[in-house]
Structure 1
Amino acid sequence: MHTTITIDALKVLDAIDRKGSFAGAASELFRVPSAISYTIQKLEEDLNVSIFDRTGHKAVLTPAGRHLLNEGRALLNAAENLAHSTQQIAQGWETRLRIGFNSLLPAECLMPAIRNFQNLSVPVDVQIIEEVFAGAWDALQSRRVDLIVGADLLSKPTGSFATRTLGQVPFVFAVAPNHPLAKLKGALSESQIIQYPAAVAADTSRALSPGHAGIFSRQRTITVTNIDQKIAIQEAGLGVGWLPKPRIRQQLANGTLIAKDVHEPRAPISIHLARHRDDKGKALMWFWRELSEDVQLKNWLEIE
């Protein structure tokens, strides 16, 4: 379908409105006034509408002209953004980078890297997406995200992925100080634990098999959407379960959660950075290197 509205005509219309006259637009666009008048006249003829009301001493936009200008400015902005993003991509920079992080880690772990990236003054939009359990790998495999921080190898799907080890996450079985399990002596048994609901963070995977580590088959559950909510449920004494120790250091220190020994301890899990092996955009690889060497992130994992 042929359109009679051109980017150039919209630029002329925008300049006239901002400068307040045809002469002002001509000066800004480095054209003679007759060229500005011709552009508007041709646009009016092609659209078969009056863009300016010329009955007074000064040309004033008609309602149709005002509508054309308002909508046209959106097109001008879109055209400018398109040109800019095309240049970015030609230079190897993505226009957007989506970073998924495993809920075992707090979002705050990413803030130093994001701050350093912002200091580069590269116009790349960064989107942070929280995932739980196998949802991290699922998001990467389906390309809902470009990079995963905190991917475990237990739920890794088949595919060509690059990974880098970040460290290990230890777990503790935690209960509120007023919970009945808090008063029991010695290591807790399965028969003791299953009497009380387990707090569960729901797996966000859409295609991969979901995970639910640390729950007994006969145990009732209270399901929430992330680890933060699971921590809150357990602090409130409404549920029990395994929690990543680095996430609850403060709660253990101030006594709002108590670590309990169990007969079958849960082993730490190794967590990694992960991306599609062939993806090597500049923003992606910058975060890949930055997070691989992030001392604060490694310290957060390792401090007892």
Structure 2
Amino acid sequence: MLSEEELALLDAIRETGSLSRAAARLGKAPSTVSHAARQLEKRFDALLFDRRRYRLQLTPAGHLLAQEAGRLMQDMTRMTQRVRQIASGWEDRLWIVTDEILEFESLMPVIRAFDALQSGVKLRVTHEVLSGTWEALRDGRADLIVGATNEPPAIPGLRWFELGVMDWVFAVSPRHPLAAARGPLKRDAISAHRGVAVADSSRLTAGRAYGLVGGQAALAVPTMRAKILAQREGLGVGWLPRHRVASLLKRGELVEKTTADPREPNVLYVAWRGDQEGRALQWWLEQLRQPRLAKRLVQGIDAFA
């Protein structure tokens, strides 16, 4: 491993091509720099400086040493910063998993505010669907989950609070046969047509599909946006977050239908493990408890406006 002085010596010689100019840059006597250069060659038992030409140059071995030493110095600097970061209570990394029902765009202002803290914590934001969201926390693939649906399961050390309530609307394309149906739609009328569902991302179970009637054919799609698009195109029917499709309903690109069995609003949860509460996690929990942010996350952004 090279010291900072030795690395500075290599850089100075490489850039100036002269021991005297390198010495001037380093603020040392030329004899001191010359001695340090020879000591460096002796230490590595290799010719590091080509003295045969008028302009002093690094040999290939010298170039390699300078490059590798520079990389190691950067690694040491980063390691020092990380050690100080951890010692001050910040995590090395925070893994946030959102349920796909939430939109990433809603989190962007929070991420920007977190970046302004300059904590050094690396953020990783991914998403899961339905059971997969709780699974991520249980299996250690998340430090914090946001927007999880269904009641909190039994997870050691689990802590949680309610983020808010999401309202749903049963919507179909104006070209779909159910668009012209009169009165509240009954289960048998709905089950006669294909439903659209966002596929559960659970890795350990068969997963669950919500909003489908027993025996109903289903089209499974990867995201809520895909579900909205599929229903707008008449590929199926189902329940959609009311606020996210408000403009489509207003323009008549989707038609709201009442049903004999209305869907209850979904409670969305924020959850984490109580044994892992660093400063980054605490900061995010404080933000998510703010009513204005919680409302924006739950209602979502109407991307079709």
Which TM-score tier does this pair reach, normalised by the shorter chain? 0.7 to 0.9
Q: Does the aligned pair in 2 maintain the 1:171–1:245 contact within 8 Å?
A: yes
Q: Distance in 2 between matches of 1:276 and 1:246?
A: 31
- Aligned position for 1:186: 183
Q: Does the aligned pair in 1 maintain the 2:50–2:56 contact within 8 Å?
A: yes
Partner SS state of residue 68, structure 2: helix
How far is the alpha carbon of 1:271 from its aligned partner? 1.0
CA distance 1:171–1:91, change in 2 (3 Å): same
Q: Does the aligned pair in 2 maintain the 1:134–1:210 contact within 8 Å?
A: yes
Give the TM-score normalised by the residue count of structure 2.
Answer: 0.85
Q: Does 1:165 align with 2:156?
A: no
Q: Does 1:264 align with 2:261?
A: yes
The one-letter amino acid of 1:264's match is: D
Gaps in structure 1 of 5+ consecutive residues: none
Of 132, 135, 146, 2:132 maps to: 135
The one-letter amino acid of 1:92's match is: G
Q: Distance in 2 between matches of 1:146 and 1:92?
A: 15
Give the TM-score normalised by the residue count of structure 1.
Answer: 0.85
How far is the alpha carbon of 1:14 from its aligned partner? 3.9
CA distance 1:103–1:17, change in 2 (3 Å): same
Q: Deviations over 1:42-94 (max 9, x none)?
A: 54445444322221122212233323333333222221111111111111112
Q: Does the aligned pair in 2 maintain the 1:134–1:209 contact within 8 Å?
A: no
How far is the alpha carbon of 1:288 from its aligned partner? 0.5
Matches within 5 A, 1:275-286: 275-286=272-283
CA distance 1:299–1:63, change in 2 (3 Å): closer
The 10-residue stretch of structure 1 (204-213 or 171-180) with the greater mean CA deviation from structure 2 = 204-213
Matches within 5 A, 1:79-98: 79-98=76-95
- Aligned position for 2:303: none
Q: Distance in 2 between matches of 1:210 and 1:25?
A: 67
Matches within 5 A, 1:135-284: 135-154=132-151, 156-207=153-204, 210-284=207-281
How far is the alpha carbon of 1:38 from its aligned partner? 4.9
Partner SS state of residue 203, structure 1: coil
Partner SS state of residue 272, structure 2: strand
CA distance 1:218–1:29, change in 2 (3 Å): farther
Partner SS state of residue 172, structure 1: strand
The 10-residue stretch of structure 1 (292-301 or 233-242) with the greater mean CA deviation from structure 2 = 292-301
The 10-residue stretch of structure 1 (247-256 or 24-33) with the greater mean CA deviation from structure 2 = 24-33
How far is the alpha carbon of 1:150 from its aligned partner? 0.8
CA distance 1:87–1:225, change in 2 (3 Å): same
Percent identity reads: 35
Q: Does the aligned pair in 1 maintain the 2:107–2:297 contact within 8 Å?
A: no
Q: Distance in 1 between matches of 2:130 and 2:16?
A: 57
Q: Distance in 2 between matches of 1:19 and 1:87?
A: 36
How far is the alpha carbon of 1:211 from its aligned partner? 2.2
Partner SS state of residue 250, structure 2: helix
CA distance 1:77–1:299, change in 2 (3 Å): closer
The 10-residue stretch of structure 1 (15-24 or 153-162) with the greater mean CA deviation from structure 2 = 15-24
The 10-residue stretch of structure 1 (199-208 or 81-90) with the greater mean CA deviation from structure 2 = 199-208
CA distance 1:218–1:76, change in 2 (3 Å): same
CA distance 1:85–1:256, change in 2 (3 Å): same
Partner SS state of residue 94, structure 2: strand
Q: Does the aligned pair in 2 maintain the 1:51–1:64 contact within 8 Å?
A: yes
The 10-residue stretch of structure 1 (25-34 or 108-117) with the greater mean CA deviation from structure 2 = 25-34
Q: Distance in 1 between matches of 2:258 and 2:252?
A: 16
CA distance 1:298–1:46, change in 2 (3 Å): same
Q: Distance in 2 between matches of 1:151 and 1:297?
A: 13
Partner SS state of residue 275, structure 1: strand
Partner SS state of residue 264, structure 2: coil
Partner SS state of residue 148, structure 1: strand
CA distance 1:125–1:16, change in 2 (3 Å): farther
Q: Does the aligned pair in 2 maintain the 1:97–1:283 contact within 8 Å?
A: yes
Q: Deviations over 1:190-219 (max 9, x none)?
A: 332233322221222223662211223433
Q: How many residues align?
A: 299
Q: Does the aligned pair in 2 maintain the 1:103–1:132 contact within 8 Å?
A: yes
The one-letter amino acid of 2:163's match is: L
